[in-house]
Protein backbone atom coordinates (compact mmCIF):
# COMPACT_ATOMS: atom_id res chain seq x y z
CA UNK A 1 0.00 0.00 0.00
CA UNK A 2 2.83 2.41 0.85
CA UNK A 3 4.29 2.20 -2.68
CA UNK A 4 0.98 2.84 -4.43
CA UNK A 5 0.25 6.23 -5.93
CA UNK A 6 -1.85 8.03 -3.31
CA UNK A 7 -4.77 10.14 -4.53
CA UNK A 8 -6.34 12.28 -1.79
CA UNK A 9 -9.72 13.94 -2.42
CA UNK A 10 -10.76 16.61 0.08
CA UNK A 11 -14.52 17.14 0.16
CA UNK A 12 -17.26 14.51 -0.03
CA UNK A 13 -19.93 16.58 -1.78
CA UNK A 14 -21.69 15.55 -4.97
CA UNK A 15 -18.60 15.74 -7.16
CA UNK A 16 -16.03 14.58 -4.62
CA UNK A 17 -17.97 11.50 -3.59
CA UNK A 18 -18.71 10.54 -7.20
CA UNK A 19 -15.01 10.87 -8.01
CA UNK A 20 -13.70 8.69 -5.15
CA UNK A 21 -16.41 6.12 -5.88
CA UNK A 22 -15.25 5.74 -9.48
CA UNK A 23 -11.57 5.85 -8.53
CA UNK A 24 -12.13 3.25 -5.81
CA UNK A 25 -14.14 0.95 -8.03
CA UNK A 26 -11.47 1.14 -10.73
CA UNK A 27 -8.00 1.94 -9.42
CA UNK A 28 -8.56 1.03 -5.76
CA UNK A 29 -10.20 -2.30 -6.39
CA UNK A 30 -7.48 -3.34 -8.85
CA UNK A 31 -4.66 -2.24 -6.54
CA UNK A 32 -3.39 0.40 -8.98
CA UNK A 33 -3.68 3.32 -6.56
CA UNK A 34 -4.59 4.18 -2.99
CA UNK A 35 -7.65 6.44 -2.75
CA UNK A 36 -8.50 8.53 0.33
CA UNK A 37 -11.47 10.80 0.94
CA UNK A 38 -11.25 13.52 3.61
CA UNK A 39 -14.39 15.23 4.88
CA UNK A 40 -15.40 17.12 8.01
CA UNK A 41 -18.67 15.18 8.31
CA UNK A 42 -19.50 11.51 8.66
CA UNK A 43 -22.32 11.45 6.13
CA UNK A 44 -23.23 12.81 2.71
CA UNK A 45 -26.52 14.36 1.64
CA UNK A 46 -26.90 15.78 -1.87
CA UNK A 47 -26.65 19.55 -1.35
CA UNK A 48 -29.54 20.46 -3.72
CA UNK A 49 -31.82 18.63 -1.27
CA UNK A 50 -30.91 20.68 1.81
CA UNK A 51 -33.82 23.09 1.38
CA UNK A 52 -36.17 20.08 1.48
CA UNK A 53 -34.52 18.90 4.70
CA UNK A 54 -34.97 22.41 6.12
CA UNK A 55 -38.69 22.51 5.36
CA UNK A 56 -39.29 18.94 6.53
CA UNK A 57 -40.42 17.51 3.21
CA UNK A 58 -37.36 15.23 3.16
CA UNK A 59 -36.04 13.06 5.99
CA UNK A 60 -32.27 13.44 5.79
CA UNK A 61 -31.62 10.30 7.83
CA UNK A 62 -33.24 8.22 5.08
CA UNK A 63 -31.09 9.86 2.38
CA UNK A 64 -27.70 10.03 4.10
CA UNK A 65 -24.70 8.06 2.92
CA UNK A 66 -22.25 7.04 5.63
CA UNK A 67 -18.75 7.66 4.30
CA UNK A 68 -17.13 4.81 6.24
CA UNK A 69 -19.63 2.23 5.02
CA UNK A 70 -19.52 3.56 1.47
CA UNK A 71 -15.71 3.54 1.48
CA UNK A 72 -15.62 -0.11 2.49
CA UNK A 73 -17.92 -1.10 -0.36
CA UNK A 74 -16.11 0.97 -2.98
CA UNK A 75 -12.44 0.34 -2.16
CA UNK A 76 -11.30 3.70 -0.84
CA UNK A 77 -10.32 5.01 2.60
CA UNK A 78 -12.13 7.66 4.61
CA UNK A 79 -10.50 10.14 6.98
CA UNK A 80 -12.70 12.33 9.18
CA UNK A 81 -11.45 15.89 9.54
CA UNK A 82 -11.42 19.41 8.18
CA UNK A 83 -8.58 20.55 5.92
CA UNK A 84 -6.85 23.56 7.49
CA UNK A 85 -3.59 23.87 5.60
CA UNK A 86 -1.22 22.53 2.98
CA UNK A 87 2.52 21.82 2.72
CA UNK A 88 3.21 21.60 -1.00
CA UNK A 89 6.93 20.93 -0.65
CA UNK A 90 6.37 17.86 1.51
CA UNK A 91 3.09 17.07 -0.28
CA UNK A 92 1.03 16.88 2.89
CA UNK A 93 -2.50 18.00 3.74
CA UNK A 94 -2.95 19.50 7.20
CA UNK A 95 -6.07 18.28 9.03
CA UNK A 96 -7.39 20.35 11.93
CA UNK A 97 -7.92 18.73 15.36
CA UNK A 98 -11.24 16.94 15.92
CA UNK A 99 -13.14 18.12 18.98
CA UNK A 100 -16.27 16.82 20.69
CA UNK A 101 -19.35 18.92 21.48
CA UNK A 102 -17.75 20.12 24.75
CA UNK A 103 -14.65 21.34 22.93
CA UNK A 104 -12.39 18.53 24.12
CA UNK A 105 -9.81 17.29 21.65
CA UNK A 106 -10.55 13.82 20.32
CA UNK A 107 -7.86 13.64 17.63
CA UNK A 108 -4.95 16.13 17.40
CA UNK A 109 -3.85 17.93 14.24
CA UNK A 110 -2.43 15.47 11.73
CA UNK A 111 -0.97 15.32 8.24
CA UNK A 112 -1.93 13.16 5.27
CA UNK A 113 0.61 12.64 2.51
CA UNK A 114 -0.41 12.60 -1.14
CA UNK A 115 0.97 12.09 -4.63
CA UNK A 116 -2.05 13.74 -6.28
CA UNK A 117 -4.42 16.03 -4.39
CA UNK A 118 -7.95 16.97 -5.46
CA UNK A 119 -9.76 19.77 -3.62
CA UNK A 120 -13.57 19.71 -3.85
CA UNK A 121 -14.71 21.50 -0.70
CA UNK A 122 -17.75 23.21 -2.24
CA UNK A 123 -18.97 26.66 -1.27
CA UNK A 124 -20.62 28.66 1.47
CA UNK A 125 -23.12 31.51 1.37
CA UNK A 126 -21.76 34.94 0.48
CA UNK A 127 -23.45 37.66 2.53
CA UNK A 128 -21.30 40.36 0.84
CA UNK A 129 -20.61 41.90 4.24
CA UNK A 130 -24.25 42.92 4.73
CA UNK A 131 -24.65 44.27 8.28
CA UNK A 132 -26.52 41.85 10.55
CA UNK A 133 -26.56 38.95 8.08
CA UNK A 134 -24.25 36.67 10.07
CA UNK A 135 -25.99 37.47 13.36
CA UNK A 136 -29.63 37.24 12.28
CA UNK A 137 -29.85 35.07 9.15
CA UNK A 138 -30.22 31.34 8.76
CA UNK A 139 -28.06 29.62 6.15
CA UNK A 140 -28.34 26.32 4.27
CA UNK A 141 -24.72 25.43 3.55
CA UNK A 142 -24.68 22.14 5.45
CA UNK A 143 -26.88 19.36 6.76
CA UNK A 144 -26.35 20.65 10.30
CA UNK A 145 -27.70 24.08 9.31
CA UNK A 146 -30.65 22.53 7.47
CA UNK A 147 -31.61 20.48 10.53
CA UNK A 148 -31.31 23.53 12.78
CA UNK A 149 -33.55 25.45 10.41
CA UNK A 150 -36.12 22.66 10.53
CA UNK A 151 -36.21 22.66 14.33
CA UNK A 152 -36.60 26.44 14.42
CA UNK A 153 -39.39 26.26 11.85
CA UNK A 154 -41.31 23.66 13.84
CA UNK A 155 -40.95 25.73 17.00
CA UNK A 156 -42.12 28.85 15.19
CA UNK A 157 -45.24 27.07 13.95
CA UNK A 158 -45.89 25.63 17.41
CA UNK A 159 -45.53 29.05 19.03
CA UNK A 160 -47.79 30.76 16.50
CA UNK A 161 -50.40 28.03 16.79
CA UNK A 162 -50.48 28.54 20.58
CA UNK A 163 -50.73 32.32 20.16
CA UNK A 164 -53.70 31.77 17.86
CA UNK A 165 -55.49 29.80 20.60
CA UNK A 166 -54.96 32.79 22.93
CA UNK A 167 -56.50 35.22 20.47
CA UNK A 168 -53.15 37.00 20.01
CA UNK A 169 -51.47 38.19 16.83
CA UNK A 170 -50.02 35.01 15.35
CA UNK A 171 -48.74 36.09 11.95
CA UNK A 172 -45.41 34.50 11.01
CA UNK A 173 -43.23 36.55 8.65
CA UNK A 174 -40.53 34.65 6.75
CA UNK A 175 -38.10 36.40 4.41
CA UNK A 176 -35.79 34.68 1.93
CA UNK A 177 -32.96 36.86 0.62
CA UNK A 178 -31.82 35.72 -2.80
CA UNK A 179 -34.02 34.37 -5.58
CA UNK A 180 -31.69 31.90 -7.20
CA UNK A 181 -32.71 28.26 -7.48
CA UNK A 182 -32.29 27.60 -3.73
CA UNK A 183 -34.33 30.63 -2.68
CA UNK A 184 -37.14 29.94 -5.14
CA UNK A 185 -37.40 26.25 -4.28
CA UNK A 186 -37.21 26.94 -0.55
CA UNK A 187 -40.11 29.40 -0.83
CA UNK A 188 -42.26 26.68 -2.41
CA UNK A 189 -41.25 24.14 0.23
CA UNK A 190 -42.11 26.53 3.06
CA UNK A 191 -45.50 27.21 1.51
CA UNK A 192 -46.12 23.47 1.42
CA UNK A 193 -45.18 23.23 5.11
CA UNK A 194 -47.59 26.04 6.00
CA UNK A 195 -50.41 24.10 4.36
CA UNK A 196 -49.49 20.63 5.63
CA UNK A 197 -48.68 21.26 9.30
CA UNK A 198 -52.27 22.21 10.27
CA UNK A 199 -53.25 18.71 9.16
CA UNK A 200 -51.07 17.31 11.95
CA UNK A 201 -52.66 19.12 14.87
CA UNK A 202 -51.66 22.76 14.39
CA UNK A 203 -55.14 23.56 13.13
CA UNK A 204 -55.35 27.04 14.65
CA UNK A 205 -52.65 28.29 12.29
CA UNK A 206 -53.66 28.80 8.66
CA UNK A 207 -51.42 29.01 5.61
CA UNK A 208 -52.61 32.59 5.15
CA UNK A 209 -51.11 33.41 8.57
CA UNK A 210 -47.65 32.57 7.20
CA UNK A 211 -46.20 35.35 5.05
CA UNK A 212 -43.35 34.31 2.77
CA UNK A 213 -41.40 37.05 0.97
CA UNK A 214 -38.67 36.44 -1.60
CA UNK A 215 -36.26 39.36 -2.07
CA UNK A 216 -33.92 39.65 -5.06
CA UNK A 217 -31.44 42.44 -5.85
CA UNK A 218 -31.62 41.79 -9.62
CA UNK A 219 -34.53 42.90 -11.79
CA UNK A 220 -35.98 39.39 -11.97
CA UNK A 221 -35.79 36.16 -10.02
CA UNK A 222 -33.47 33.40 -11.27
CA UNK A 223 -31.31 36.05 -12.97
CA UNK A 224 -28.78 33.50 -14.24
CA UNK A 225 -31.45 31.52 -16.11
CA UNK A 226 -33.47 32.31 -19.27
CA UNK A 227 -36.13 35.03 -18.99
CA UNK A 228 -38.99 32.67 -19.89
CA UNK A 229 -38.03 30.38 -17.01
CA UNK A 230 -37.87 33.34 -14.65
CA UNK A 231 -41.31 34.58 -15.73
CA UNK A 232 -42.87 31.13 -15.29
CA UNK A 233 -41.30 30.78 -11.84
CA UNK A 234 -42.61 34.21 -10.81
CA UNK A 235 -46.14 33.28 -11.86
CA UNK A 236 -45.98 30.01 -9.93
CA UNK A 237 -44.71 31.68 -6.77
CA UNK A 238 -47.44 34.28 -6.92
CA UNK A 239 -49.99 31.52 -7.42
CA UNK A 240 -48.67 29.95 -4.23
CA UNK A 241 -49.07 33.31 -2.46
CA UNK A 242 -45.36 34.00 -2.13
CA UNK A 243 -44.57 37.71 -2.29
CA UNK A 244 -41.81 38.44 -4.82
CA UNK A 245 -39.74 41.63 -4.57
CA UNK A 246 -37.16 42.24 -7.33
CA UNK A 247 -34.69 45.07 -7.83
CA UNK A 248 -34.45 45.35 -4.04
CA UNK A 249 -30.93 44.98 -2.59
CA UNK A 250 -30.79 44.36 1.17
CA UNK A 251 -28.80 46.94 3.14
CA UNK A 252 -29.19 45.48 6.65
CA UNK A 253 -30.68 42.54 8.53
CA UNK A 254 -32.01 42.96 12.07
CA UNK A 255 -33.45 40.48 14.53
CA UNK A 256 -37.05 41.22 13.56
CA UNK A 257 -36.83 42.93 10.16
CA UNK A 258 -35.00 43.33 6.88
CA UNK A 259 -33.97 46.81 5.72
CA UNK A 260 -33.94 47.37 1.95
CA UNK A 261 -31.68 49.78 0.11
CA UNK A 262 -34.54 52.21 -0.56
CA UNK A 263 -35.15 52.46 3.20
CA UNK A 264 -38.29 50.34 3.34
CA UNK A 265 -38.55 47.64 6.00
CA UNK A 266 -39.92 44.12 5.97
CA UNK A 267 -40.99 42.52 9.26
CA UNK A 268 -39.27 39.16 9.49
CA UNK A 269 -39.23 36.65 12.32
CA UNK A 270 -37.23 34.15 10.29
CA UNK A 271 -34.74 35.39 7.69
CA UNK A 272 -32.88 33.04 5.36
CA UNK A 273 -29.86 34.11 3.33
CA UNK A 274 -29.72 32.38 -0.06
CA UNK A 275 -27.99 35.08 -2.16
CA UNK A 276 -24.62 34.30 -3.67
CA UNK A 277 -21.85 31.87 -2.85
CA UNK A 278 -18.13 31.95 -2.19
CA UNK A 279 -15.47 29.33 -1.62
CA UNK A 280 -14.29 28.64 1.96
CA UNK A 281 -11.89 31.32 3.19
CA UNK A 282 -9.07 28.90 4.13
CA UNK A 283 -8.39 28.30 0.42
CA UNK A 284 -6.82 31.78 0.21
CA UNK A 285 -3.95 30.66 2.45
CA UNK A 286 -3.07 27.28 0.94
CA UNK A 287 0.68 27.60 0.49
CA UNK A 288 0.60 29.96 -2.49
CA UNK A 289 -2.21 28.46 -4.57
CA UNK A 290 -3.91 31.12 -6.70
CA UNK A 291 -7.46 32.21 -5.77
CA UNK A 292 -9.89 34.81 -7.12
CA UNK A 293 -11.96 37.38 -5.23
CA UNK A 294 -14.50 34.70 -4.26
CA UNK A 295 -11.76 32.53 -2.71
CA UNK A 296 -12.10 30.02 -5.56
CA UNK A 297 -8.96 28.20 -6.59
CA UNK A 298 -7.98 29.26 -10.10
CA UNK A 299 -7.50 26.22 -12.33
CA UNK A 300 -6.58 25.47 -15.92
CA UNK A 301 -9.06 23.88 -18.29
CA UNK A 302 -7.68 20.52 -17.16
CA UNK A 303 -8.80 21.42 -13.58
CA UNK A 304 -5.15 21.55 -12.55
CA UNK A 305 -4.31 24.44 -10.22
CA UNK A 306 -2.20 27.16 -11.82
CA UNK A 307 0.63 26.85 -9.28
CA UNK A 308 0.99 23.09 -8.79
CA UNK A 309 0.80 20.29 -11.35
CA UNK A 310 -0.10 17.71 -8.69
CA UNK A 311 -3.07 19.59 -7.23
CA UNK A 312 -6.49 19.74 -8.89
CA UNK A 313 -9.69 21.48 -7.85
CA UNK A 314 -13.26 21.31 -9.11
CA UNK A 315 -16.86 22.10 -8.25
CA UNK A 316 -17.97 25.30 -6.52
CA UNK A 317 -14.53 25.91 -4.98
CA UNK A 318 -12.77 26.18 -8.36
CA UNK A 319 -12.79 28.84 -11.08
CA UNK A 320 -12.46 26.87 -14.31
CA UNK A 321 -12.31 28.67 -17.69
CA UNK A 322 -14.68 27.82 -20.52
CA UNK A 323 -13.51 27.92 -24.13
CA UNK A 324 -14.92 30.97 -25.89
CA UNK A 325 -16.34 32.54 -22.72
CA UNK A 326 -15.11 35.16 -20.27
CA UNK A 327 -17.06 33.55 -17.44
CA UNK A 328 -15.87 30.45 -15.57
CA UNK A 329 -17.89 27.26 -15.30
CA UNK A 330 -21.05 28.01 -13.27
CA UNK A 331 -21.27 26.58 -9.73
CA UNK A 332 -23.93 23.95 -10.43
CA UNK A 333 -24.39 20.30 -9.57
CA UNK A 334 -24.32 19.22 -13.22
CA UNK A 335 -20.95 20.98 -13.66
CA UNK A 336 -19.48 19.14 -10.66
CA UNK A 337 -20.79 15.84 -12.03
CA UNK A 338 -19.19 16.46 -15.42
CA UNK A 339 -15.92 17.61 -13.84
CA UNK A 340 -15.77 14.46 -11.70
CA UNK A 341 -16.07 12.40 -14.87
CA UNK A 342 -13.26 14.36 -16.56
CA UNK A 343 -10.99 14.14 -13.50
CA UNK A 344 -11.53 10.39 -13.29
CA UNK A 345 -10.20 10.08 -16.82
CA UNK A 346 -7.28 12.43 -16.12
CA UNK A 347 -6.18 10.68 -12.93
CA UNK A 348 -6.44 7.28 -14.60
CA UNK A 349 -4.43 8.56 -17.56
CA UNK A 350 -1.73 9.95 -15.27
CA UNK A 351 -0.92 6.51 -13.90
CA UNK A 352 -0.38 5.37 -17.48
CA UNK A 353 1.71 8.38 -18.48
CA UNK A 354 -1.01 9.81 -20.71
CA UNK A 355 -1.87 13.56 -20.93
CA UNK A 356 -4.54 15.28 -18.84
CA UNK A 357 -8.05 15.61 -20.27
CA UNK A 358 -9.36 19.18 -20.77
CA UNK A 359 -12.78 19.89 -19.29
CA UNK A 360 -15.54 21.20 -21.55
CA UNK A 361 -18.79 22.13 -19.83
CA UNK A 362 -22.04 21.06 -21.49
CA UNK A 363 -25.09 22.93 -20.21
CA UNK A 364 -27.98 20.45 -20.20
CA UNK A 365 -30.47 23.06 -19.04
CA UNK A 366 -32.03 24.06 -15.74
CA UNK A 367 -34.90 22.71 -13.66
CA UNK A 368 -36.72 24.49 -10.84
CA UNK A 369 -38.90 22.43 -8.53
CA UNK A 370 -41.88 23.95 -6.69
CA UNK A 371 -42.19 21.25 -4.05
CA UNK A 372 -45.08 18.90 -4.80
CA UNK A 373 -46.92 21.53 -6.82
CA UNK A 374 -45.09 21.56 -10.16
CA UNK A 375 -41.73 22.12 -11.83
CA UNK A 376 -40.48 24.23 -14.73
CA UNK A 377 -37.29 24.09 -16.73
CA UNK A 378 -35.46 24.22 -19.99
CA UNK A 379 -33.50 21.40 -21.61
CA UNK A 380 -30.63 22.04 -24.01
CA UNK A 381 -30.51 20.00 -27.21
CA UNK A 382 -27.10 18.38 -27.70
CA UNK A 383 -27.29 18.59 -31.47
CA UNK A 384 -29.27 21.75 -32.18
CA UNK A 385 -28.11 23.73 -29.14
CA UNK A 386 -31.65 25.04 -28.78
CA UNK A 387 -33.50 25.25 -25.51
CA UNK A 388 -36.78 23.39 -24.97
CA UNK A 389 -39.12 24.72 -22.28
CA UNK A 390 -40.89 22.12 -20.12
CA UNK A 391 -43.21 22.30 -17.13
CA UNK A 392 -45.61 20.25 -15.02
CA UNK A 393 -45.26 16.48 -14.62
CA UNK A 394 -42.66 16.17 -17.36
CA UNK A 395 -40.40 18.74 -15.71
CA UNK A 396 -40.99 17.14 -12.33
CA UNK A 397 -39.94 13.75 -13.74
CA UNK A 398 -36.71 15.21 -15.11
CA UNK A 399 -36.03 16.94 -11.79
CA UNK A 400 -36.40 13.74 -9.79
CA UNK A 401 -34.20 11.90 -12.29
CA UNK A 402 -31.27 14.22 -11.48
CA UNK A 403 -31.06 12.84 -7.95
CA UNK A 404 -31.49 9.28 -9.18
CA UNK A 405 -28.58 9.80 -11.58
CA UNK A 406 -26.45 10.93 -8.64
CA UNK A 407 -27.47 7.80 -6.74
CA UNK A 408 -26.61 5.60 -9.73
CA UNK A 409 -23.14 7.17 -9.80
CA UNK A 410 -22.68 6.26 -6.13
CA UNK A 411 -24.48 2.92 -5.85
CA UNK A 412 -25.03 1.48 -9.33
CA UNK A 413 -28.32 0.81 -11.11
CA UNK A 414 -29.52 -2.19 -9.08
CA UNK A 415 -28.94 -0.65 -5.64
CA UNK A 416 -30.50 2.62 -6.79
CA UNK A 417 -33.58 0.67 -7.86
CA UNK A 418 -33.80 -0.86 -4.38
CA UNK A 419 -33.38 2.60 -2.80
CA UNK A 420 -36.15 3.97 -5.02
CA UNK A 421 -38.48 1.15 -3.91
CA UNK A 422 -37.64 1.79 -0.25
CA UNK A 423 -38.36 5.49 -0.75
CA UNK A 424 -41.79 4.61 -2.11
CA UNK A 425 -42.55 2.41 0.90
CA UNK A 426 -41.27 5.07 3.30
CA UNK A 427 -43.51 7.75 1.76
CA UNK A 428 -46.52 5.48 2.12
CA UNK A 429 -45.81 4.73 5.79
CA UNK A 430 -44.70 8.12 7.10
CA UNK A 431 -46.28 11.59 7.21
CA UNK A 432 -45.67 13.91 4.28
CA UNK A 433 -43.65 16.23 6.49
CA UNK A 434 -41.02 15.40 9.08
CA UNK A 435 -42.64 16.43 12.38
CA UNK A 436 -39.66 16.23 14.73
Q: pLDDT (tens digit, 9 = 90+) per residue, 259-275? A: 999 999 999 999 999 99
- In sequence order, the 6+-apart residues with CB closer than 8 A to the CB of 260 are 215, 245, 248, 249, 250, 251, 266
How much of the chain, in percent, has pLDDT values that exceed 70?
A: 95
DSSP string, 128-172: TT-TTHHHH-B--SSHHHHHHHHHHHHHHHHHHHHHHHTTS---E
pLDDT at residue 285 above 60? Answer: yes
In this predicted structure, what is the pLDDT of residue 364? 84
Helix (H/G/I), strand (E/B), else coil: 240: coil
How high is the mean pLDDT of the chain? 90
Q: Which CATH superfamily is domain 133-273 in?
A: FAD/NAD(P)-binding domain (3.50.50.60)
* Extents of the domains making up the chain: 5-123+279-351, 133-273, 365-429
CATH class of 5-123+279-351: alpha beta
Torsion angle defined by CA atoms of residues 32, 38, 43 and 45, in that order, rounded to the nearest 10 degrees: -90
pLDDT band (50, 70, 90) for residue 391: confident
* Residue 169: φ, ψ to 5°: -65, 120
How much of the chain, in percent, has pLDDT values that exceed 90?
A: 65
Rounded CA-CA distance 52/54 in Å is 5
pLDDT at residue 354 above 80? Answer: yes
- Report CA Rg, the chain: 22
pLDDT band (50, 70, 90) for residue 384: very low
In this predicted structure, what is the pLDDT of residue 198? 72
Query: Which of the two residues, 175 and 102, has the higher pLDDT score?
Result: 175
Torsion angle defined by CA atoms of residues 93, 339, 20 and 292, in that order, rounded to the nearest 10 degrees: 20
Reported as a single tens digit per residue, the pLDDT across 81-95 is 999 999 999 999 999
In this predicted structure, what is the pLDDT of residue 76? 97
Distance of CA 79 to the CA centre of its chain: 21
Q: Which residues pair with 258 in a beta bridge?
A: 253, 266
pLDDT at residue 435 above 70? Answer: no
Region 232-236: mean pLDDT is: 92
Helix (H/G/I), strand (E/B), else coil: 299: strand
- Number of other residues whose CB lies within 10 A of the CB of residue 255: 10
**C-alpha closest to that of 308 among 287, 322, 328:** 287
pLDDT at residue 385 above 60? Answer: no
Region 311-315: mean pLDDT is: 97
Determine which of 18-27, 159-168, 207-216 has the lowest per-residue pLDDT on average: 159-168
Distance of CA 118 to the CA centre of its chain: 19
How much is the pTM?
Answer: 0.90
Q: Which residues pair with 110 in a beta bridge?
A: 95
In this predicted structure, what is the pLDDT of residue 383? 42
Reported as a single tens digit per residue, the pLDDT across 243-254 is 999 999 999 999
Helix (H/G/I), strand (E/B), else coil: 367: strand
pLDDT at residue 196 above 90? Answer: no
In this predicted structure, what is the pLDDT of residue 327? 87
pLDDT band (50, 70, 90) for residue 255: very high
Rounded CA-CA distance 4/7 in Å is 9
User: Is-same-fold flag (5-123+279-351; 133-273)?
Assistant: yes
Evaluate the CA torsion angle 219, 225, 228, 233 in order and state its sign: negative
**C-alpha closest to that of 68 among 44, 87, 91:** 44
Amino acid sequence: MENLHHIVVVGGGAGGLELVTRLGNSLGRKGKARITLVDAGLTHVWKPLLHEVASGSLDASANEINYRAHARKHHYEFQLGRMSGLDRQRKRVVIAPIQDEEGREVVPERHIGYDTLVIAVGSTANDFGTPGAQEHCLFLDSLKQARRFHNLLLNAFLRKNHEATQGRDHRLDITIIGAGATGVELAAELRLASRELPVYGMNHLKASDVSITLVEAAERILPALPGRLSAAATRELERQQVRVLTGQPVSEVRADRVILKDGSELPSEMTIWAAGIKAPSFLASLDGLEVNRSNQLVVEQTLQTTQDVDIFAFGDCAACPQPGSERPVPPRAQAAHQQADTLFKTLSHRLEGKPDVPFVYNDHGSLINFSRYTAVGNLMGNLSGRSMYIEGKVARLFYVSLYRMHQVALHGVIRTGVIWLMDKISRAMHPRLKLH
